[in-house]
Amino acid sequence: MNLLNFQRNKSYTKGDFFARTILSGTRPVKVREEDVLKIPTVYAAIELITSSIAQLPLYLYQEQTDRSIEQLRDDRTNSLNHDANALETGQALKKKVVQDYLLRGKAYLFKKNGQLHYLAAKSMAEESYTDDNITVSAKKYLYSGLSRNVEIPSEQLIVIDSGTDGLLVNADKLFNTALSQLKYEENLLSNGALPTGVLKANTRLTEQAINRLKKGFDSLYSGTENTGKTLILEDGLDFSTIALSPDELSLHQSKSTVTSEIARVFNIPESMLNSSANKYASLEHNNLQFLQNCIGPIITAIESALDKSYLESGEKLLGFFFRFDTSELLRTTEAEKIKTISQALEKGLISFNEARHRLDLKGIEEDYFVLRLGQVLKKVSDDSMLVLNIGEHIETKEKHNGEHSGITI
C-alpha cells in the first residue's frame, strides 16, 4: 500500500524532492518464502522457470541502417553469461533474479567496476519523491547490507519490475492452502494411530484405566513404523474402524486441484508439472507454450531493464539492445532439428556454413547459398553463382562507379 505524505505548507524549489514524499511500501507478505519453497509443486515450478532462463545466453545486438541485426562482442555479455563477478557466475545470477521476480515482483542488480552483483529483493526498500504531486521525480533505494543499511544510487542499479507485488502476495492464499494440505498429510501419517478407529468397553473404565490403555495403544500402533501390526485386545474390549482411504478423504483430488492452480499462477503448462495432464504430443509444442506464456514475459522484462539501465545514452541512439537467444529452449529431437535446418537451407534463408554451425559442425572453405533456378549455388564471398543443371559459373562484375557491367558465364 502506498502512503502519500503531503507537506503542503513547506516551500520548495524544483528538484527539492524531499518537499513532498511518497513512501512506497510493499504489501505485507503473509507467507514466508522459505515455507513456499517447501511445497513440491512450487519448488518444481520455480526450478523449471529459473533454470530454463538461466541457461539462455544473453547477447548485445545493434540494428544497422539497412534494418539488419549484428551481434556485438562486449564485456557486459560476459557478466551476464559467464563471470558476473569474482565470486558468482552469470547462470547463478540469472536464477536468483528470476526467483525474486516471480515471488517478490521485483529483482535488483548492482553495477560496480564493470561487474554485476545480485541484491536480494527482500532486503531492498524504495522511497519515491514528487515535485508536482502527479509524477515521480526521483527514487531512493535503501538496502539492508551485510553490516548496515546503505543507500544505493539509482544509476548503479538495474531494476527488473514485473508490475505486480509478486506471488508471495498475489497467491498467498493458494500457497497457504498447499502448506496446510502438506501439514495435514504429515500429521495423518506421523501422528495417526493405525489402524484408526474406536475402542469400546463393556464396562465403565476409570480415568486411570483409560490413560493406561491410551498410552499402551499409542506406543504399540501409533506412527507409520507400526503400520500393519496385529491388534490384540483384552477381554471386554471391541474395536470399530473409522479409517478413511485417501480417496474417501479427497486427498488425491485436492492435491490435483492445488497442482493445477499452482501451474496456472506460474503460467506453466500443467503437463510440465503433472505428466498425466499432457495436452501436447510433441515436446516442441510443449516448449513453445512454455516459452510464449511463461518465459516470454519474464525475459522481455529483463531485456527491457538491461536496455534501460545497462546501455549508455549514445548506445541507445545507435540501436543497441540486449536479447536472449531462446533457441536453446526450443531444442527438438535430432530428426526435427535437421529437418528444420534443411528447409531453411533449401529456401535460401541460411548458407551452408550457417546450417553446419547450427548442427555444431565445422564450416567448409567456400560458403554458398542455395537459390532456385533448378538448383543455383550463390558464393557468399564474391556473389558468383553456380547453376547446377548446366554446370556453369555465373560471375557478376561491378564497375568502380557502382554500375553493373553485366554477367559473365
pLDDT at res. 6: 33
Q: Look at 135 and 9; give whichever has higher pLDDT.
A: 135
Query: What is the pLDDT averaged over residues 364-375?
Result: 78
Q: Is the pLDDT of residue 363 over 60?
A: yes
Q: Is the pLDDT of residue 22 over 60?
A: no
Task: State the pLDDT confidence band at 264, using cuts at 50, 70 and 90.
Answer: very high
Q: Is the pLDDT of residue 121 over 90?
A: yes
What is the average pLDDT value for the chain, to the nearest integer? 79
How are beta strands 197-201 and 237-241 bridged, if at all? antiparallel
pLDDT at res. 10: 39
Lowest mean pLDDT among 10-19, 184-193, 219-228: 10-19
- Burial label for 34, CB within 10 Å (0-12, 13-18, 19+), is exposed
Which among 207, 198, 206 is positioned nearest to 233, based on CA atoms? 198
Q: Is the pLDDT of residue 168 over 80?
A: yes
Chain-centroid distance, C-alpha 30: 22
Q: Which residues pair with 142 in a beta bridge?
A: 125, 151
Task: State the pLDDT confidence band at 170, using cuts at 50, 70 and 90.
Answer: very high
Q: Is the pLDDT of residue 405 over 50?
A: no
17 contacts 130 by C-beta, under 8 angstroms: yes
pLDDT at res. 272: 85
Query: How far apart are the C-alpha atoms of 409 and 404, rounded to whole Å?
Result: 15
Q: Is the pLDDT of residue 220 over 70?
A: no
DSSP 67: S
pLDDT at res. 390: 67
Query: How far apart are the C-alpha atoms of 102 and 167, rounded to whole Å?
Result: 6
Which of 58-72, 175-189, 235-249 has maximum average pLDDT? 58-72
pLDDT at res. 311: 95
Which of 125-134, 243-252, 270-279 has maximum average pLDDT? 125-134
pLDDT at res. 242: 57
CB atoms within 10 A of CB 6: 12
Cis peptide before 57 (omega within 30 of 0): no
pLDDT at res. 250: 59
Residue with cell 551485510: 146
Lowest mean pLDDT among 1-10, 229-238, 284-293, 339-348: 1-10
Query: What is the pLDDT averaged over residues 75-87?
Result: 93
Q: Is the pLDDT of residue 138 over 60?
A: yes
Which of 211-225, 229-243, 301-315, 379-393 has maximum average pLDDT? 301-315
Coarse DSSP helix, strand, coil percentages of the chain, rounded to the nearest 5 percent: 40, 25, 35
251 contacts 223 by C-beta, under 8 angstroms: no
The torsion of the CA quartet 363, 364, 369, 375, rounded to 10 degrees, works out to -130
**Model confidence over 24-38: pLDDT tens digits?**
556 677 899 999 999
Give the ranges where 29-161 is alpha helix by DSSP (H): 33-36, 40-54, 75-81, 90-104
Q: Look at 208 and 101; give whichever has higher pLDDT.
A: 101
What the block records as the C-alpha cell of 309 is: 539501465
Query: How far apart are the C-alpha atoms of 54 and 220, rounded to whole Å?
Result: 51
pLDDT at res. 204: 76
Q: Look at 19 and 205; give whichever has higher pLDDT.
A: 205
**Model confidence over 234-248: pLDDT tens digits?**
666 766 665 555 555
Task: State the pLDDT confidence band at 122, using cuts at 50, 70 and 90.
Answer: very high
Q: Is the pLDDT of residue 89 over 80?
A: yes
- Burial label for 232, CB within 10 Å (0-12, 13-18, 19+), is exposed
pLDDT at res. 11: 40
Q: Could you give the percent of the chain with pLDDT greater than 90?
A: 37
Residue with cell 542455395: 370
CB atoms within 10 A of CB 299: 21
Which of 102-116, 134-148, 188-202, 371-385 has maximum average pLDDT? 102-116
Q: Is the pLDDT of residue 407 over 50?
A: no
